Amino acid sequence: MATETAVGKLAEGGAETAKPAYVKKTYSPEFLAEQEAIMARVREEGAKRIHRSCERLEALGIIDKDGNRLKKELPADMLPGADRDFGG
């Protein structure tokens, strides 16, 4: 038949065995040390950015030294019950 030639026949052994979906990987100590060094740099840079942002917000008078918000006023479109247009 035409389907046998297009699809082919299975081997004598039956169906093919499925391969495992997940293979546990092992990493070298050098690789793990490098990854830890990278993550330490990322955390350090993130902390610097947070501190710069907080200093900027303090300089603008938006927050105090404890991180409490000083300005409580909201723009008109953020007030409860305001007619909002999100451009969609």
9 within some domain: no
Cβ-contact 32, 25 below 8 angstroms: no
pTM, full prediction? 0.53
80 within some domain: no
Q: How many domains does the chain have?
A: 1
68 within some domain: no
6 within some domain: no
51 within some domain: yes
Residue 88 has pLDDT above 70, yes or no: no
pLDDT tens, position by position, 20-76: 788 888 999 999 999 999 999 999 999 999 999 999 999 999 899 998 989 888 888
Q: Which domain holds residue 53?
A: 25-63
Nearest to 9 by CA among 17, 1, 20, 21: 1
Nearest to 57 by CA among 68, 46, 43: 68
84 within some domain: no
79 within some domain: no
Cβ-contact 81, 87 below 8 angstroms: no
Nearest to 51 by CA among 69, 63, 40: 63
36 within some domain: yes
